[in-house]
Structure 1
Amino acid sequence: MTNKIIRAILSTCLLDKTQSTKSKRKEFIVLQTNDYCILSYLSSNQLDQPIDQVGRIIQIFNQSNITIADRHGTIHHSLLLTGLLKQQISQASDSLTVGDFVSFENKAGQLVISDVLPRVNQLSKNISSARKSIHVKSGVQLLAANVSDVFIVVACDQRFTIALLERYLLAFSLNHVQLHILLTKRDFRQGFTQISQLIEQAYPKLSCLSLSIYDQTVLLFLTRFYQPKVLRSLSALLELVNRRLSIS
């Protein structure tokens, strides 16, 4: 089952990250600024960092161009990493990612990120690439950190099997994460009926929603659901929600 059939929408409390295939740069759509869950994160993890020096990563272009949001919802662009943190990241198995909570400070008029705070969880996927030689390069791609909800999106006009759905459920089963199934193109009634029955029989307790572009009620529900959050999306569904919120 390809990404055209099942895609994951990952909410990291407050932001969206999509991948541009033309420029290979990461772009973001902020649905609502709020405090980016910074206060609740600090209180629940009993951290004593000064709250005005804690931000959340919402864009990463490279290690010399990072965008964060602070607890007031103010966006700060073009942050750098301190030399020590850059060295620590280069020696670690993973790197910074969208959703990370970080400590930042002002050094000679330049905002810099000085530390990465502990993660509640992190979402990643295995990647592999075959070159012209017989060698295959494999590794792990970090997608997001501090994730609260995962929506696995299933299009009702595509081929579907429970076995492939289970692979996504297994990959996205993380601590402190709520899994949801979102059936799109519900107006394909035969496919919708078959797929919904299969999921209900296999996972009767799993949260399952359905929608169609012709049904505005579900879009309103998603809008309310994500009012205090932001989506990191691998599908075009976010565009519908953004449109509903009148966000350009």
Structure 2
Amino acid sequence: MGQRARRQRELSFQGKEKKKMEDAQFEVLKVQASIAPKSADWPRPDFAEASIKGDRPTLGSADGPLQWNYLHDSVSDLRARTLKTLGKLAAVDEDKSLSPTGKLETKRAIAEAAIASFEKSGALQKARDSVESQVAKWNDQLGVTPKKPTDVATAMMHAEIRSRVSAQKPGDRLAFISGHVEDCGAAILTAPPMLSGLSATELNIVRHTLEMRTNPEIAKAKQDTMQALAHAEQGFRNAVRTIRERAGLDAVAGNGGMAAA
């Protein structure tokens, strides 16, 4: 082989390797964009300021409680597992020894194993448990979890408040409650939302409004944490969908195979 031909082969090889690297980098960006992209703005515990002295160990800055560390870990774990799985699926596509049917079966097996590993991973469950524990502490501090009335007079008054709220036009109910939240809160939050004509989402808005009136800082921290967990949960669903699509599982489901998630 002449020098010129060798040089052309080297350049061709280098071009292919460069494209692989660019494709890999683009894959990372796509995964980051589809799995909890807002996590980049989440606070982190400042472990540099942590202390284990005394009866109450601290974890540093007030804006980075421990649940944020578990939330970040869950996202990092999910992204790493997704990228690893996508790499395996790409390798199957490049395997010239497999027939089209063999590639589909191999990718299906890889995807199903990956999705099972996602579900077994403890990272997201640790985040859920940590958030639940922290929210319970905040609820105790906020002290706005109302108790059901224990006397007839109060129960009748609560029923009258719910009736008054329910009589409002749907678009006016939240505005009415916001103007009388201290009076309406207990009546609404201690009964099924349908008795006030509210949806579950509207009920959460009422609860958050009451919490904001009680302690805006804690209420905001609670809301941000719960939204972050919901964002991580959506990232999990996005990861599963990406793996299924890349492996062709949904196409198989359309022909009587595994049902789509």
- The two structures have a TM-score, normalised by structure 2, of 0.23
- The two structures have a TM-score, normalised by structure 1, of 0.24
Instruction: State the structure with more CA Rg.
Output: 2
